[in-house]
């Protein structure tokens, strides 16, 4: 429960309101599973749950990508190299990358949702030969809101990954797809009966992505989504993050659509 004080190594502005903060690892490194999160404490301001978004194989680099939306996230995003913050974690159940061995993998990201998915992508790419087709579908509000753009462009040059990017709206100079990310699902190349899907983004986007995947024949048990709820303890004690019968901090944040889908639909009514 006690945050450990760590130093910021460097920061990088990703988008107008999004920064990546690299934090020094602990003495024993910073082992984590793709999809897990840390509780980051901005001293004197407060704590927020932030996903770990670096490469799980690089135990010397602890990365978090933060959108400045309120008091705590703004303070975290403003941190500069050399400044201190508190870190607790890693917490939660992440993307079941091992469960996808031998299967096609469809990764669908909306906006900042690409950050929690990036460690899973690094793990898939590290053992590329152990999976079937890998398809990455990314949506952003506009071309200026595309997260990790240079990396996406690099991945697009690979012949063993299908990468599609779409934006909700764009000016005349945009030559790519326009439309919500779910419109990419119907034409993506994968075998629905042997597919595992990882989906992260706004709840409404995850719900409609899951509906489209199911229309193509992917089972709800094979669709994994990542939930966001306000966290306090992050260890299943306080009940703050309760979502139906689950605590998002310890039973999630990643869970199957088969388990959470009905509850997502009820919240939107």
Ligand X SMILES: Cc1cc2nc3c(=O)[nH]c(=O)nc-3n(C[C@H](O)[C@H](O)[C@H](O)COP(=O)(O)OP(=O)(O)OC[C@H]3O[C@@H](n4cnc5c(N)ncnc54)[C@H](O)[C@@H]3O)c2cc1C
Report the distance separating Cα 21 and Cα 4, nearest Å.
16
Q: Angle at CA 115, nearest 5°, toward 223 and 69? A: 110
Would you count residue 233 as binding ligand X (CB under 6 A)?
A: no
What's the min distance (Å) between Cβ of 215 and ligand X?
A: 28
42: three-class secondary structure by DSSP: strand
Tokens 């913050």 sit at which residue?
Answer: 85
Would you count residue 247 as binding ligand FES (CB under 6 A)?
A: yes
Report the distance separating Cα 64 and Cα 51, nearest Å.
6
4: three-class secondary structure by DSSP: strand
**Stretch binding ligand X (CB under 6 A), from 71-79, 122-130, 168-176, 183-191:** 71-79
Taking phi over 0 as left and psi of -120 to 50 as alpha, with beta for the rest, 241 belongs to alpha
What's the min distance (Å) between Cβ of 91 and ligand FES?
A: 9
Site for ligand X in 88-117 (CB under 6 A): 112, 115-116
Q: Which ranges of 78-113 does DSSP label H, i.e. alpha helix?
A: none
**One of 40, 233, 260, 264 touching ligand FES (CB under 6 A):** 233
Q: Could you give the maximum distance between any two Cα atoms of the chain, in Å?
A: 51
**One of 23, 62, 63, 66 touching ligand X (CB under 6 A):** 66
Q: Which does 239 bind (CB under 5 to 8 A by kind): ligand X, ligand FES, none?
A: ligand FES
Would you count residue 11 as binding ligand X (CB under 6 A)?
A: no
- Give buried/exposed letters for 130-141 (b at 16+ CB in 10 A, else e): ebbbbbbbbbbe
Is 54 or 252 the residue whose CB approaches ligand FES more closely?
Answer: 252
Would you count residue 236 as binding ligand FES (CB under 6 A)?
A: yes
Helix and strand numbers, DSSP H then E, in the chain: 6, 15
Would you count residue 249 as binding ligand FES (CB under 6 A)?
A: yes
**One of 100, 115, 199, 231 touching ligand FES (CB under 6 A):** 231
Would you count residue 239 as binding ligand FES (CB under 6 A)?
A: yes
Give the residue among 225, 221, 234, 223 at the shortest CA–CA distance from 92.
Answer: 234
Is 96 or 162 the residue whose CB approaches ligand X more closely?
Answer: 96
Q: Using CB under 6 A as the criterion, what x/- string covers residues 52-91 for binding ligand FES?
A: ----------------------------------------
User: Which positions lie near ligand FES, rule CB under 6 A?
Assistant: 231-234, 236-241, 247, 249
């Amino acid at each position: 429960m006690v945050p450990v004080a760590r130093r910021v190594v460097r920061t990088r502005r990703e988008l107008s309101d999004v920064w990546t903060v690299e934090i020094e690892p602990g003495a024993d490194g910073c082992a984590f599973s793709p999809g897990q999160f840390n509780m980051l404490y901005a001293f004197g301001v407060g704590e927020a749950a932030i996903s770990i978004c670096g490469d799980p194989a690089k135990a010397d680099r602890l990365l978090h990508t933060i959108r400045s939306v309120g008091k705590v996230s703004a303070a975290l995003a403003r941190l500069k190299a050399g400044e201190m913050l508190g870190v607790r974690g890693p917490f939660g159940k992440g993307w079941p990358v091992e469960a996808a061995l031998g299967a096609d993998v469809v990764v669908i990201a909306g906006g900042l949702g690409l950050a929690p998915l990036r460690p899973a992508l690094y793990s898939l790419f590290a053992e590329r030969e152990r999976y079937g087709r890998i398809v990455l579908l990314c949506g952003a509000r506009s071309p200026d809101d595309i997260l990790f753009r240079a990396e996406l462009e690099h991945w697009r040059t690979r012949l063993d990954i299908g990468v599609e990017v779409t934006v909700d709206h764009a000016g005349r100079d945009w030559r790519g797809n326009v439309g919500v990310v779910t419109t990419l699902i119907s034409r993506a190349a994968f075998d629905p009966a042997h597919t595992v899907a990882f989906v992260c983004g706004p709840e409404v986007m995850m719900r409609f992505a899951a509906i489209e995947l199911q229309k193509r024949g992917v089972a709800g048990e094979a669709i994994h989504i990542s939930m966001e709820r306000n966290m306090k303890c992050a260890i299943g004690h306080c009940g703050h993050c309760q979502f139906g019968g689950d605590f998002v901090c310890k039973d999630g944040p990643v869970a199957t659509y088969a388990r959470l889908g009905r509850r997502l639909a009820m919240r939107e009514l």
